[in-house]
Amino acid sequence: MVAEESGPGAQNSPYQLRRKTLLPKRTACPTKSNMEGASTSTTENFGHRAKRARVSGKSQDLSAPAEQYLQEKLPDEVVLKIFSYLLEQDLCRAACVCKRFSELANDPILWKRLYMEVFEYTRPMMHPEPGKFYQINPEEYEHPNPWKESFQQLYKGAHVKPGFAEHFYSNPARYKGRENMLYYDTIEDALGGVQEAHFDGLIFVHSGIYTDEWIYIESPITMIGAAPGKVADKVIIENTRDSTFVFMEGSEDAYVGYMTIRFNPDDKSAQHHNAHHCLEITVNCSPIIDHCIIRSTCTVGSAVCVSGQGACPTIKHCNISDCENVGLYITDHAQGIYEDNEISNNALAGIWVKNHGNPIIRRNHIHHGRDVGVFTFDHGMGYFESCNIHRNRIAGFEVKAYANPTVVRCEIHHGQTGGIYVHEKGRGQFIENKIYANNFAGVWITSNSDPTIRGNSIFNGNQGGVYIFGDGRGLIEGNDIYGNALAGIQIRTNSCPIVRHNKIHDGQHGGIYVHEKGQGVIEENEVYSNTLAGVWVTTGSTPVLRRNRIHSGKQVGVYFYDNGHGVLEDNDIYNHMYSGVQIRTGSNPKIRRNKIWGGQNGGILVYNSGLGCIEDNEIFDNAMAGVWIKTDSNPTLRRNKIHDGRDGGICIFNGGRGLLEENDIFRNAQAGVLISTNSHPVLRKNRIFDGFAAGIEITNHATATLEGNQIFNNRFGGLFLASGVNVTMKDNKIMNNQDAIEKAVSRGQCLYKISSYTSYPMHDFYRCHTCNTTDRNAICVNCIKKCHQGHDVEFIRHDRFFCDCGAGTLSNPCTLAGEPTHDTDTLYDSAPPIESNTLQHN
C-alpha cells in the first residue's frame, strides 16, 4: 500500500507501516473562531471528544468493531492518506474524534499542502497581531506545526487571484467549508468588498502583474502579496497613468506588504507626473508599508511621497531603488517611521525631507545614489539613526536652507564628493556618526550654516576632515578626527566655528588650518602626531586658541605665517620635531600663558619679519633655544619664564630685533641671551640667572639696549661683548656670577676644559700660522702661551669659540687639556633653527 500511495505524506513519510500503538498524551487541536464554520456539536470545542448517544446492546456490538478498527488498528499511512483528501475544517473535526486522530490530523505535511494550495507561500507567513507579518523557517520554529498556526491566523480573508474566482464559485462542493474565503479577479473588486464589509479587511494578492487599477485606500484594510519563493518579486502592481497606491484620510492602520509597486508612465518626463508616485500618502493617515519593492521610471516627482499634516506612515523592510527620480520624499509637516529599508541607485536624492517634514529614519541602507544620499532643505527636519549611507555621487547627507535634522550613529562613507554638506543657513545635529573614506571633506560647512558636529569619528578622508568656509559657523565638539589626507579641520573665508574637545591626530597633513581671514574659538582640543603643523594660522586669520594640548607633531606645533594673527593662550605645546611655535612674514599673534616645551628645534621661532606679543609663557626643556628671533623680526616678550633649555634661552641674530621685558631666563645650557649678526633688541628689566654658560653674549656686529636687567649666578659670567660691539646700557645689575672663564684663564687652563665642544666661551682667541690653522680654527690664550710657545701666532678677536687645541683637532696635542675629544669645526653661533617647510606641501 505504501508503494502505491501518491498523496501528500507518501514521500519521506515519518510514519512506518504499523498497527496502532500507545500514543502520547493527546495534543489538543489548535482552534480559532474563524475556523469554526462547521457549527456542529462535535466542533464546538476542538480537542474534546463529543459525547455519543447511547445505543442498545446489539447495535452497539455491531458498530464497535468497525469503530475500534478505524480508531485503533488502521495503519497510520492509511489514515494520513484519507486525511489528505480533507479540507481544513473537516481535518479539524477529525482531530476531535480521538487521541490518535488528533495527532495524525495535526501532521505538518497535511497542513503544508492545504496551506500552499490556499496561500501559495513556501514558508509560513506568521500574522500574530494587526499590522505584523513575517515569514519563518519551519525547522527553526518553536511550535510543531507552524503551517497550521499560520493558516488559522490568515484564514478569513479575500484573495485576488485572476481567473480563479469563477472556478471557486462554480465548485461549491469541492470548496465546502471555505465560505469565509472570498475570491476576486481584481484589486479594485476586492477593495469594494471591504467597503461592503464582506470580510475583515484582509486581502491576499496572488502571483501576477496587476496594471492600471484604481487603488485608493481610505479604510484600514490589510493587503499582502501571496506567492511562492520571494513573494514581492511575484506580485507586481503597476500604474502607467496615475499614482499606483494612494492612501487617504481614513486609511490609518492600513497595511500593504510583500509586493512590487511600480509607477511606469509612457511619457516619463511629463510635468503632470510630478503629482504621481508609486506610493502617495496624504493627510491624516498612518499606513504600514512592509517588505515592498518600489520602483519608478518617471523622471519627475518621487517614488514615494508622504505629504501633509498627520501623514505618518510606517515604511519598513522596503527596497526603494533604481528609480529615475527621488526615492522617498517627506514634506509639508509629514512625519512617519522609516526603518530597515534599502534605498539605492536613484537618479535624484535617496531621501528628500522638506518644509517641516519630520520623519524618524532608522537602520536604512542608502547607497550608490546618482545624486545625494539624503537631502534635507527648506526647514526639513527628521531623526536619522544607525543608517548606512555610502557611495553616493554627491554628498552622503546634505542640509540646506534652515533644515535642521538630527543624525545619530550613522555611517557616512565613501561619498564620491563629501560626507556631510551643510550650506545656505543649514543647521542640524550630527552626533556619534562614523564619517570616513569620502573623496572630499568628511564634513563641509558654508554660507552662514550653523550645525552641531559632536562625538563623531571623522577619519581616512581623501581630503580633509571638517571644512568650514564662506562664513560658516557651527559647533565642532568631542570628535575624533584622524588619518585624513588634508587638514583635520580647515577654517577659511570669515568662518567662525567653535571647535572644542576634539582629538585631531595622525593626519597626513596638518591638524587645524585657519586661513583667508578665518576666525573661530578653538579650545580644549588635543592635536597630535600630524605630519605637518599641528595648527596653521595664515592670511589675515584671527582665531582664538585656548587650553589646547598640541603635541608630538612631525613639524611645528603652531605656525603663524603671511599675516596670520589671533590669540594663543593657556595651551600646552610640546614634543614637536620642529619648534613649538613659529611666527613669520608679518604675522602678529598674541601668545600668552602657554607652556611650550620639548621642541626639537626650539620653543618659539620668530623670523622673516615676524611680530607677536609673547607674554606670561613658560618655555622650557627645548632642545635648542627657548626663543629664536631672526631676519628683521620684532616681537615683544614680556614676563615669560624661559628655563632649563638644552641650548640657549633667547637667541637673536640676522637682524633680529624685539623688546624683551621682565622675563625670567634661567638654568639654560647655553647663554641666557645671545645677540648676534647685526641684531638690535631692547632688553629691559629681565632677570638672567643660574645659566650654565654666559648670562648675555653679544657678537658679530650686533648692538643692544640693556636697561635695568639683573644678571647673576651664571657659570661663565654675566655680560660678554665681542670685539667691535657697542651696547647702550643703563641701570643693569651684574652680580655674583661664577666667572668660570676668567678663573680658568687666570689658572692657566685650556678653556676647552670648561666648555668641551658643547659651549662657546667668549674670550680672546688666536690662530697659529706655524700649525697651519684655518679660519675655522681658534686657540685660547693659555694654549698660545703653553702649547704654541715660540710659534707664529696671531690675535684674531674677542669672541665666542671653543679651543681647537684642547679639542685635539690640531696636528700637535694640547699639553693642557688631557685626552683629546675629536670634533669638527668650531661654530661661532648656536646651530640655526629649522624653518618650517609646511608651505612646500600646500
Residue 62 lies in a domain: no
Confidence of residue 319 (pLDDT cuts 50, 70, 90): very high
**CA gap 26, 49 in Å, rounded:** 11
What 8-state DSSP symbol labels residue 72?
I
Average pLDDT of the residues in 514-535: 98
- Boundary of a domain, candidates 325, 340, 359: 325
Confidence of residue 68 (pLDDT cuts 50, 70, 90): confident
Q: Is residue 560 predicted with pLDDT exceeding 90? A: yes
**CA gap 544, 567 in Å, rounded:** 5
Q: Is residue 3 predicted with pLDDT exceeding 70? A: no
Confidence of residue 682 (pLDDT cuts 50, 70, 90): very high
> Quick one: pLDDT at residue 714?
97
pLDDT digits (tens, 9 = 90+) for 638-678: 999 999 999 999 999 999 999 999 999 999 999 999 999 99
**CA gap 543, 518 in Å, rounded:** 7
Give the torsion through C-alpha atoms of 490, 494, 495, 498, to 10 deg: 100
> Quick one: pLDDT at residue 834?
64
Q: Is residue 140 predicted with pLDDT exceeding 50? A: yes
The whole-angstrom distance between residue 503's C-alpha and the CA centroid of its chain comes to: 13
One-letter amino acid for residue 368 of the chain: H
Residue 523 lies in a domain: no
Average pLDDT of the residues in 681-690: 98
Q: Residues 207, 103: one domain?
A: no
Closest by CA position to 295, among listed 262, 344, 259? 262
Region of poorest pLDDT, from 83-97, 281-295, 600-614: 83-97
- Boundary of a domain, candidates 325, 360, 391: 325
820 or 267: whose pLDDT is higher?
267
Q: Residues 243, 132: one domain?
A: no
Q: Is residue 46 predicted with pLDDT exceeding 50? A: no
Q: Is residue 14 predicted with pLDDT exceeding 70? A: no
Average pLDDT of the residues in 42-50: 34
**Predicted TM-score (pTM) above 0.95:** no
Residue 273 lies in a domain: yes
Region of poorest pLDDT, from 141-150, 333-342, 390-399, 526-535: 141-150
The whole-angstrom distance between residue 206's C-alpha and the CA centroid of its chain comes to: 44
Give percent above pLDDT 90 in the chain: 78
One-letter amino acid for residue 184 of the chain: Y
Closest by CA position to 784, among listed 663, 117, 775, 773? 773
Give percent above pLDDT 70 in the chain: 89
Residue 242 lies in a domain: yes
Average pLDDT of the residues in 465-478: 98
Domain that holds residue 777: 763-807
Average pLDDT of the residues in 419-425: 98
Confidence of residue 273 (pLDDT cuts 50, 70, 90): confident
Q: Residues 209, 290: one domain?
A: yes
Q: Residues 75, 133: one domain?
A: yes
C-alpha cell at 512: 587645524
**CA gap 401, 381 in Å, rounded:** 11
Let me know: does 768 contact 752? Beta carbons within 8 Å: no
Average pLDDT of the residues in 560-569: 98
Region of poorest pLDDT, from 148-152, 179-183, 441-445: 179-183
Confidence of residue 836 (pLDDT cuts 50, 70, 90): low
pLDDT digits (tens, 9 = 90+) for 232-272: 999 999 999 999 999 999 898 899 999 999 999 988 888 87
Q: What is the CATH number of the domain that holds 92?
A: 1.20.1280.50
Q: Residues 210, 145: one domain?
A: no
- Max Cα distance, the chain (Å): 159
**Average pLDDT of the chain, as a whole number:** 89
> Quick one: pLDDT at residue 23?
38
Average pLDDT of the residues in 106-127: 95
What residues form DSSP beta bridges with 663? none
Q: Residues 214, 321: one domain?
A: yes
Q: Residues 242, 140: one domain?
A: no
Residue 376 lies in a domain: no
116 or 53: whose pLDDT is higher?
116
**CA gap 99, 399 in Å, rounded:** 67
- Boundary of a domain, candidates 325, 342, 362: 325
Q: Is residue 431 predicted with pLDDT exceeding 60? A: yes
Q: Is residue 575 classed as helix, strand or coil in its secondary structure?
A: coil
C-alpha cell at 550: 598640541
> Quick one: pLDDT at residue 64?
61
Q: Is residue 706 predicted with pLDDT exceeding 60? A: yes
> Quick one: pLDDT at residue 268?
85
Q: Residues 230, 311: one domain?
A: yes
> Quick one: pLDDT at residue 172?
87
Q: Is residue 405 predicted with pLDDT exceeding 80? A: yes
Average pLDDT of the residues in 344-358: 97
Q: Residues 124, 238: one domain?
A: no
Region of poorest pLDDT, from 29-43, 564-578, 641-655, 659-673: 29-43
Which residues, at least 6 apart from 631, have a Cβ–Cβ distance to it below 8 Å?
607, 608, 609, 654, 655, 656
88 or 501: whose pLDDT is higher?
501
Confidence of residue 835 (pLDDT cuts 50, 70, 90): low
Q: Is residue 56 predicted with pLDDT exceeding 60? A: no
pLDDT digits (tens, 9 = 90+) for 161-217: 999 988 888 888 888 888 778 899 999 999 988 666 556 789 999 999 999 999 999
Parallel/antiparallel/unpaired status of strands 581-584 and 604-607: parallel
| Total domain count, the chain | 3
Residue 277 lies in a domain: yes
Residue 755 lies in a domain: no
Let me know: does 689 contact 711? Beta carbons within 8 Å: yes
Region of poorest pLDDT, from 28-37, 107-116, 689-698, 814-823: 28-37
Q: Residues 123, 231: one domain?
A: no
> Quick one: pLDDT at residue 136?
95
Average pLDDT of the residues in 403-425: 97
Residue 230 lies in a domain: yes
Parallel/antiparallel/unpaired status of strands 779-780 and 762-768: antiparallel
Average pLDDT of the residues in 486-512: 97
